[in-house]
Structure 1
Amino acid sequence: MTTEVLAKSPVAADEFAEQWQAWHRSHETRRADPHGFLAITGIHWLGPEPQRFTDAPGTWTATDDDITVVLDDGDELVIDGVTVRGEHSFGAIAERASVHARWQAAVIEVARRGGYAIVRPRHPDNPVLAAYRGTPAYEPDPRWAVTGRYVPFAEPRPTTVGSVVDELHHVYPALGRVDFAVDGQPLSLTVFEGYTPGSLTILFTDATSGVTTYAANRSLQLGPPDEDGTVTVDFNRATNLPCAYTDHATCPLPPAENRLAVAVEAGERYPYETAV
């Protein structure tokens, strides 16, 4: 299998670039959401001892099966449209799930990551968000939109990966692998469940990582494969994870087999703010 060039004429190449530009603008808009990850002002690790924070209301505690806040007089949170005051229990929050509670102009994210309870306030006036000026990317190139084949595992395989946070680990069910080739070189990547039904997620690094692209990881979303497993692997749409922009992230690292030796000169590059 060789790299499939999806745009073979100037017109097709122009259409390919226009589609990429529209996708990239949409992605940048979501990234710069007033309550997105660029608005995070801190990551607070909870335990049984009560804690207070300068960027979130109340006093917080956590056990293995509950997260609780005791709000001060006059403070309130709005959770799913319901206003809560005084003491509030968030109950058992599943791993990788989050509850977003509105507090004044901010949103307080309450979550579990790697088995730990965390609070991550998101303030729209955060200087990181205010200073954001977009993410540079390689020019879209049809050479990097390749045809692959999805090979599902007989059963999902629980796969432990590291995190940008020391001693934190994530466990994801690996659904299978995607086989493809670049310039005749056969390659394969383990894939996880995507954000929408039937879609797939790839976490990877390559020979550009730490040089022109973020060192720890990049992410690629694939659409649902065809019935025969055919899927497009478009590295032009490889994106940075939140950890490329903020120290308040718990992003996963790619599994060992997803560290490519080739230089994938496509997709998002180092953010301006953290470029080496």
Structure 2
Amino acid sequence: MTADRTDASPAARHQRWCQRRLAELDAPQGWPGLIGLIWLEPGDNAVGAGADCLVRLPDGPERLGLLRWQGTSITWEPAGGGVQALQTDAQGEPTPVRSGAYQFFIIEREGRLAVRLRDLEWQAKRPFAGLECLPYAPAWSIEAAWETLGEPVTMEVPTVTGELKAVTVRHRAVFDHAGQTVALLPMETGEEGVFFVFRDAGSGRLTYGAGRFLRCPPPQNGKVLLDFNRAYNPPCAFTPFATCPLPPPENWLGFAVEAGELKYRGGH
């Protein structure tokens, strides 16, 4: 997302953030257009509309080509000839392959490879149901203490696919709410900022039941800004073919966070 103008009010910046989120989702490559997640097998994986294809397209050629997974590399070999090395999302932006209205690319999860299949014309078939955000609430923009843990903690983070992902945590964000001290453990920490996955007492009622994501600027001077007004729904709120992490028990909040994105009306 592009940076906000610093001369705008917090409410105006929040409104622009909501508009950018809507534009990202309601686009040909938005999450609602994801129509398949197919786990690959080492060796040859046939792609096409034929019944014998592991990666089966809704229509098009019976055999579009082969995805060949050998060791740490994967290549695309179209039926018409030629070989193309594909980059997975673990290596940066994955290499897309397109056939008509469909596009696929490779993702890597805990040593496994999968194809994500996207319909670039999904909007004509099932228009986006829209996105709702609560009005900007200054009280939910919280400056938390960024504390270093005495010893690193390894969390076993579940995903919607039923797998567990080990995450090593060295810091936590600590703040007060209604007279109680609350801590959140980050899923990722880097130069671009801090990423949290959390759920709260409003999850399932007010907001998406599996929890929400929150990205924050890099900590400064022992503080990190938790702007819950920018808490947003994970991809699995818009498609059943995502691989979202779920909130670890450490990040289950006992109160409702009445800020940020609301539950998606469209479901899936």
Taking structure 2 as the reference length, the TM-score comes to 0.81
> Hey, what's the Cα distance between the residues in 2 that align with 1:193 and 1:223?
12
Q: Which residue of 2 aligns with 1:46?
A: 40
Q: Which residue of 1 aligns with 2:94?
A: 99
Deviates more, 1:156-165 or 1:59-68: 59-68
Taking structure 1 as the reference length, the TM-score comes to 0.79
Give yes or no for contact 1:67–1:117 (8 Å, CA) kept in 2. no
Q: Which secondary structure does the structure 1 equivalent of 2:95 belong to?
A: strand
Q: 2:146 aligns with which of 140, 143, 150?
A: 150
- Could you list the per-position Cα deviations for residues 39-85 of structure 1 after superposition, in whole angstroms to 9, with x for gaps in the alignment? 21211110035333215942234355232332111xxxxxxxxxxx5
- Could you list the per-position Cα deviations for residues 220-253 of structure 1 after superposition, in whole angstroms to 9, with x for gaps in the alignment? 11111222x1222111110001000101100001
Q: 1:239 aligns with which of 232, 235, 260?
A: 232
Give yes or no for contact 1:239–1:268 (8 Å, CA) kept in 2. yes
Displacement, 1:36?
2.9
Q: Kindly indicate whether residue 215 of structure 2 is the aligned counterpart of residue 221 of structure 1.
A: yes
Displacement, 1:271?
0.3
RMSD: 2.7
> Hey, what's the Cα distance between the residues in 2 that align with 1:129 and 1:233?
37
Deviates more, 1:168-177 or 1:49-58: 49-58
Q: Percent identity?
A: 29
Q: Which residue of 2 aligns with 1:86?
A: 82
Give yes or no for contact 1:100–1:110 (8 Å, CA) kept in 2. yes
Give yes or no for contact 1:138–1:269 (8 Å, CA) kept in 2. yes
Q: Which AA in structure 2 matches 1:51?
A: A
Q: Which AA in structure 2 matches 1:213?
A: T
Q: Using a 3 Å threshold, how does the CA distance of structure 1 residues 206 and 136 change in structure 2: closer, same or farther?
A: same
Pairing of 1:1-276 with structure 2 (within 5 A): 15-48=9-42, 50-52=45-47, 53-54=56-57, 57-73=64-80, 85-90=81-86, 93=88, 95=90, 99-104=94-99, 106-127=102-123, 130-153=126-149, 157-166=153-162, 168-193=163-188, 197-227=191-221, 229-274=222-267
> Hey, what's the Cα distance between the residues in 1 that align with 2:113 and 2:103?
17
Q: Which secondary structure does the structure 2 equivalent of 1:30 belong to?
A: helix
- Structure 1 unaligned regions, length at least 5: 1-13, 74-84
**Greater RCO between the two (CA within 8 Å, min separation 6)?**
1
How many residue pairs match? The answer is 247
Displacement, 1:205?
0.4
Give yes or no for contact 1:157–1:175 (8 Å, CA) kept in 2. yes
Q: Which AA in structure 2 matches 1:178?
A: A
- Structure 2 unaligned regions, length at least 5: 1-7, 48-55
